[in-house]
Amino acid sequence: MKRMKATIAYDGSGFAGYQVQPDSRTVQQELMKVLATIHKGQVVQVVASGRTDAKVHATGQVIHFDTPLSIPMQGWLKALNVLLPEDIRVLEIGETDATFHARYHTSGKTYRYKWDRSKIISPFTRNYMVHVKQQVDVIAMKKAAASVLGTHDFSSFCAANTGVVDKVRTVRRLDFEEHGEELHMVIEGSGFLYNMVRIIAGTLMEVGLGRRTADELASIVAAADRSTAGKTAAAHGLYLEKVTYSH
């Protein structure tokens, strides 16, 4: 058996999330369906770096699976991309160490969150960016973001229904980029709690809209209480951009 590691991209608009769910279209389900075809009906388990929610996109998700087949990299790329639906693409694939694990060996992840500040949002970007009609104070958002950097208990920025006990995570980078009318938040860290990036995005946008002050962020982090932070930003503005590994 060989262990294959692949980087994939997908448009989350038509999916109920990454992970297989009954009676719902998911990314994992589509990958397993295609791999079963290539393996003549044999079930092939696919492991990802982590699940993404319904409507969340990925430009750099990483997966692994085991196969007895000997197919060159270009052959895998062609076969998978011919058989997969158009809203999933395999960007690169290759054989990896048999001990590699797409989920357990991650050393960091980078997410990008996108807002569109146009007066009227284009019908072509409505599924890929969140529309913000009001004026946004990006300087205040950058100031507030400084309180999120570093190692903290991020309970304030975690969905209340999670079963995770240890909520300490490290945010290594949190930047804002302006691309014309688009505003992007880029966040990189050791790992993220359920809905953590979307809650941080929603809270920082509340600062940008003047509903909170930049100075409030430090006390929100310190409170370790979900009720102190802002609303969870909409899923369709979020992209899993990059997954890094220690080896």
Positions marked catalytic? 53
From residue 68, give the alpha-carbon distance in Å to each of 34, 42, 214: 16, 11, 55
What's the per-residue H, E or C state across the chain? CEEEEEEEEECHHHCCECCCCCCCCCHHHHHHHHHHHHCCCCCCCCEECCCCECCCEEEEEEEEEEECCCCCHHHHHHHHHHHCCCCEEEEEEEEECCCCCCCCCEEEEEEEEEEECCCCCCCCCCCCCEECCCCCCHHHHHHHHCCCCEEEECHHHCCCCCCCCCCEEEEEEEEEEEECCEEEEEEEECCCCCCHHHHHHHHHHHHHCCCCCCCHHHHHHHHCCHHHCCCCCCHHHEEEEEEEECC
Phi-psi region of 94 (alpha: psi -120 to 50; beta: other; left: phi over 0): beta
At 115, the amino acid letter reads: W
